C-alpha cells in the first residue's frame, strides 16, 4: 500500500511532495501458484522427492 504520512515524516520526507509505495509477496506463495504446489512446508522440509521435481 501507500506509505503512511507519519512514517515519511519521521524520515524527513514531505508527504505533500512525495508518496511512497511498498509491497511484498511471498516467493514461496508465487511458486505455489505457478507450479500448483499444495503445501508451503514442502519448501522447508528439503524432501528430495520434492526438490528433484524442479
Q: What does the binding site for other proteins look like in residue numbers (CB under 8 A)?
A: 2, 4-6, 19, 43-49, 51-52
Q: CA angle at residue 26 from 51 to 18, to 5 degrees? A: 150
Q: Note the Cα 42 to chain centre separation in Å.
A: 18
CB nearer other proteins, residue 19 or residue 29? 19
CB of 36 to other proteins, least distance (A): 20
CB nearer other proteins, residue 9 or residue 33? 9
CB of 27 to other proteins, least distance (A): 11
Sign of CA dihedral 45, 46, 47, 49: positive
Amino acid at each position: 500500500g501507500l506509505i503512511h504520512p507519519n512514517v515519511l515524516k519521521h524520515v524527513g520526507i514531505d508527504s505533500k511532495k512525495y508518496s511512497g509505495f511498498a509491497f511484498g509477496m511471498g516467493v514461496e506463495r508465487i511458486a505455489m501458484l505457478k507450479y500448483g504446489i499444495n503445501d508451503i512446508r514442502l519448501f522447508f522440509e528439503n524432501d528430495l522427492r520434492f526438490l528433484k521435481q524442479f
